[in-house]
Amino acid sequence: MARAVPASPFESPRESPPEDRDERGDSNSTGSGGSGSCSASLSGSSDDFEPEWLESVQKNGELFYLELSEDEEEVIFQDSSLDVPVVNHVRFCENEPEIIHGRSRKQNEHRLEKLTKILKNKNIVSKQSIKKKATGKCDVHASGPASILKNRSSQKMGVVVQQRYKDVCVYINPKRQSNAETGEQLKLLESLIGIAHQSPWRKAEKHRHSIESRSAEEEKIVVHGLIPGSSAIRSGEILIGDILLAVNDVDVNPENIERVLSCIPGPMQVKLTFETSVFELEGTSQRRCKPTQSSMNNLLKLLWKDHNNDPQFSIQSIPHIIMYLSLKLDSDTSKDEQEILYQYPISEASQKMKSVRGIFLTLCDILENVTGARIISSSMFLYEKLIHVAYWKESDKLLVIGLPAESVPLSQLRNMTADVVRTLIFMYGSLDSAFCQIENVSQMDHFFCLFFQQALQPARLHSNVNPGSPHYDACSALFFYNFPGVRWLSLPQEIKMEIDTALSDLEAADFAELSEDYYNMRRLYTILGSCLFYKGYLISNHLPKEDLTDIALYSRHYCLLPLAAEQRIGQLVIWREVFPQHHLQSCKTSYDGYREPKARYFLLMVGLKHFVLSVLLEAGGCSSKAIGNPGPDCIYVDQVKATILQLDGIDLSIDERLESPSAPLVSCVDWFLPSSRDSLAALPLFSKLQNTSNSRISPASKKMVFGDSTLRTHKTSPLWGSGRSDNVDDNPEGGRGNVNPYAAQSKSPGGFDRSSSLFKITKKKNILPGPFNLGSLKKNPSDMESELYNVMKLTSGPENTLFHYISLETMHGIFITPTHTEVAQLSGTIHPQLIKNFHRCCLSIRSIFQQTMLRENKKTASIRSLESKKANSGLHQVREHGVLFECSPDTWIDQKKPPPPIMYWVVGRLFLDPKPREFYVCFHDSVAEVAVELAFKLSFGLAL
């Protein structure tokens, strides 16, 4: 039933401009002419143009505008043909070509007269609207080329006729030819597209009367030649002798072609319609029709395209479903399937799950009655596959998400469901308003299309761009999808300072048009805070953790962060009203002295190149109240853009930081294969360690390792403040007493003495004020940071045995892990497997930790209510969990001997004090256990 609504994707570049947009934004945009210069120069449009995204603003004020950078666009468009969505906007206005020179004051009128935007939607509504506009506005050419449009729109026309016309898409960039002589008018056709057309008598004759007579040969733009290296020749489909009929469905003739072409504001794709006299076209058109092997990123495709038309995503056969069901039965309404408020997707496999929705409803009801607790999940077999179903009950509605167990383990599915709910609430305020409003249906379809793509085919979305690390992304994608944090990149202090200053300036909003004095009126929005991403890494955050998590979930869901990581953003502007629960809920529970204002919140995200800057705005409170559905305000967009521009130079140093091996160093597991024995053989200690990896480490080597690590503690002790290093000396007595029982086992009392003292330290660590207790994330970069960079290696011994790590700071909502470049540099054949394994193992470890935290919360709750605690409640309080893996190389040259196994640990540790924090490491088997303790200790230094 929901299908009746055309699945018009909400990513509005392709949407027609809303005519009834509220005018307040416009008046601002005209006012921003001065500051607009910086934005204009960046976005690539000619100066004084209104922002390109303005047309994409939807009626409810929302905006999702994404534009690729030029290089990327050209690459994509060269390889793909018609089925590529056109990204850029173009406004053709042949009646008023002077729009280019026109002042911004006039734009409002002109905007309404814009003729076309290219819509590749298959949906009829938009097509008709184009047609109507085309015929309506270009009254001069109404009759002639209308036939072309008719041909194109009615698919049932004869094949022969179809073949006489062909559409060729070329990518053109008006800026490229800016150096070319502009004096000659006709040059545009040659310089832009590369078509040479000679009409020596064109100027002499006046043809005003004969536009409609199609018989006149000289009226047509015949391709007389192609300019080498031009877009036309590169397309390979434009032949000499073809007649150019239309550009983007606007009819052209020698008269108006230059004016039409001159209206192209920036780099974009243009569709040229030719009439061809040659009939050998069949082959060409066939070739064109088959799905091209485009290098276009699947991610982009997904963001832009209507998924249903795309045969490439073959997840239809995998049973998966999302349903929003009503538990209240209204027998009066005669609607079919009235208990289904929303459902996605419609496929045969999911149809089956839909048909058993009675199970979900009944289970939800019964189990709640019997056990007094809400249902979380259920499992079932369907088509020989185990399917997990996660539930989310809210008042009398039930959200159900089902996914196959082989793709998503149950613990993961629960997290994903919770995240989906959180994101939807952030975007729409409540699940009801997300699902139950008919205008949201297409947005929801897109939302869950993205969701299922990420859940079922994470590898597809993160393909091929980074040659070294595709695997890294693919295997970690699922794991990170619901990681309660954002990938953090710690930067040198001076850069950090610069960024923070820029963001603070923006947030202060006390200059230029942002200040209240400028217009002498209340400002529209208060900036609550902002966070800056670079290539998908969070580099600065001025938001509370809850808000940061909300924004991170949103951008992760829409794949914005990986997008930014790949030099793809020409310009990204997102604007929408959001409902941050952090603010809205504390509205209700007012603390004494402070109450959150009754306000509305807006999210503004602006992306340029690798930067994405998210700003959370508040309307109401001390700023003026928002009325209706305000669209993005140009001033704010421009200022945010300007802030990014201000940081433009910084990306070099950030890149440098990304490239340079950071602390702590990681190494590649392949280096530990004996094939690279030459490097290891030189290190006697290490080879010894490796030989004894299965049994115990020999006392001598153990001693050395311990000695080394003790040394290291001393070295790094400045990190922990002066109190820490004293501890090493204070504790030997206690340490010895503690460890004596095991001395018999270890047979190396000396070594263990030291180790036990170290162990003591780690145990004490929680009591001592760590750097974390002292300062918060952003305010205290301090000098520890620079010192940390000097600690290049976490593990002891001559070889670095740390393979991978993740440090999750739940308190700050961030995590730290080796960068993509770091992983890419390691390469190796087994290493990608190892990382994949590591992430999978982290999943299980994390699910155990989550249970622990759940119980912890329950316990504190029960203590508060003075209930008797159960005797065995401590049994399941897991603090640390480790798994030792064995792997052997797949390709082994020496056939006589079996490949030697490599053993490595994956260990996760949960810290509850002072705030929940998780740390996961992966290291080689040969690491002395004490060094592991050290590694965990250093996890405190990782996050700053």
Handedness of CA 299, 304, 309, 315 (dihedral sign): positive
Find the part of the chain contacting other proteins (CB under 8 A) among 233-241, 263-271, 379-387, 524-532.
379-387
Half-sphere exposure of 162 (CA within 13 A, CB side): 13
Q: Which of 179, 293, 317, 868 is close enough to bind other proteins by CB under 8 A?
A: 868
DSSP state of 768: S
Q: Which of 289, 386, 497, 711 is close enough to bind other proteins by CB under 8 A?
A: 386
> Long-range contacts for 23-31 (Cβ within 8 Å, ≥24 apart)?
23/108, 24/630, 25/54, 25/57, 25/630, 25/631, 25/632, 25/633, 25/634, 26/108, 28/513, 28/633, 28/634, 28/635, 29/54, 29/104, 29/634, 30/104, 30/105, 30/107, 31/513, 31/519, 31/635
Under rule CB under 8 A, residue 384 binds other proteins: yes
* b (16+ CB within 10 A) / e for 111-141: beebbbbbbbbeeeebbeebbebbeebbebb
Find the part of the chain contacting other proteins (CB under 8 A) among 484-492, 611-619, 646-654, 742-750.
742-750
Considering only residues 824 through 843, tell me which ones interact with other proteins, judged by CB under 8 A.
833-834, 836-837, 840-841
Q: Rank residues 617 and 934 by Cβ distance to other proteins and give the closer one.
A: 934
Q: Rank residues 394 and 655 by Cβ distance to other proteins and give the closer one.
A: 394
Q: Which of 878, 899, 900, 916 is close enough to bind other proteins by CB under 8 A?
A: 878
Least spacing, CB of residue 918 vs other proteins, in Å: 14
Q: Rank residues 791 and 903 by Cβ distance to other proteins and give the closer one.
A: 903
Least spacing, CB of residue 363 vs other proteins, in Å: 6
Name, in order, each residue with C-beta under 8 angstroms of 865's C-beta and a sequence gap of 6 or more. Answer: none
- Distance, C-alpha 766 to centroid of its chain: 36
Q: Which of 179, 293, 333, 371 is close enough to bind other proteins by CB under 8 A?
A: 371
How many CB atoms within 10 Å of residue 883?
15
Find the part of the chain contacting other proteins (CB under 8 A) among 259-267, 375-383, 586-594, 649-657.
375-383
Q: Which of 745, 782, 827, 829 is close enough to bind other proteins by CB under 8 A?
A: 745
Least spacing, CB of residue 425 vs other proteins, in Å: 20
Question: Which tokens go with 712?
Answer: 């290291």
Beta bridge partners of 808: 815, 918
Under rule CB under 8 A, residue 880 binds other proteins: yes
Under rule CB under 8 A, residue 765 binds other proteins: no
Considering only residues 882 through 901, tell me which ones interact with other proteins, judged by CB under 8 A.
882-887
Under rule CB under 8 A, residue 337 binds other proteins: no
Q: Report the chain's terminal Cα–Cα distance, integer Å.
A: 52
At 402, is the secondary structure helix, strand, or coil?
strand
Q: Rank residues 154 and 355 by Cβ distance to other proteins and give the closer one.
A: 355
Distance CA 101, CA 97 (A): 8
Under rule CB under 8 A, residue 844 binds other proteins: yes
Q: 571 burial class (0-12, 13-18, 19+ CB within 10 angstroms)?
A: buried
Least spacing, CB of residue 804 vs other proteins, in Å: 13
Question: Which tokens go with 150?
Answer: 């008719």
Under rule CB under 8 A, residue 418 binds other proteins: no
Considering only residues 254 through 273, tell me which ones interact with other proteins, judged by CB under 8 A.
none
Under rule CB under 8 A, residue 853 binds other proteins: no
Q: Which of 226, 232, 449, 739 is close enough to bind other proteins by CB under 8 A?
A: 739
Q: Which of 204, 521, 866, 871 is close enough to bind other proteins by CB under 8 A?
A: 871
8 Å CB contact between 400 and 357 = yes
Question: Which tokens go with 298?
Answer: 């699947």
Q: Rank residues 505 and 929 by Cβ distance to other proteins and give the closer one.
A: 929
Under rule CB under 8 A, residue 375 binds other proteins: yes
Q: Which of 278, 289, 356, 627 is close enough to bind other proteins by CB under 8 A?
A: 356
Give the strand pairing for 599-609 and 569-578.
antiparallel
Beta bridge partners of 806: 920
Under rule CB under 8 A, residue 479 binds other proteins: no
Considering only residues 395 through 414, tell me which ones interact with other proteins, judged by CB under 8 A.
405-406, 409-410
Find the part of the chain contacting other proteins (CB under 8 A) among 98-106, 246-254, 455-463, 924-932.
924-932
Residues in the chain: 944
Least spacing, CB of residue 274 vs other proteins, in Å: 53
Under rule CB under 8 A, residue 381 binds other proteins: yes
Least spacing, CB of residue 417 vs other proteins, in Å: 13
Beta bridge partners of 594: 591
DSSP state of 330: -
Q: Which of 370, 521, 652, 866 is close enough to bind other proteins by CB under 8 A?
A: 370
Under rule CB under 8 A, residue 741 binds other proteins: yes
8 Å CB contact between 319 and 350 = yes
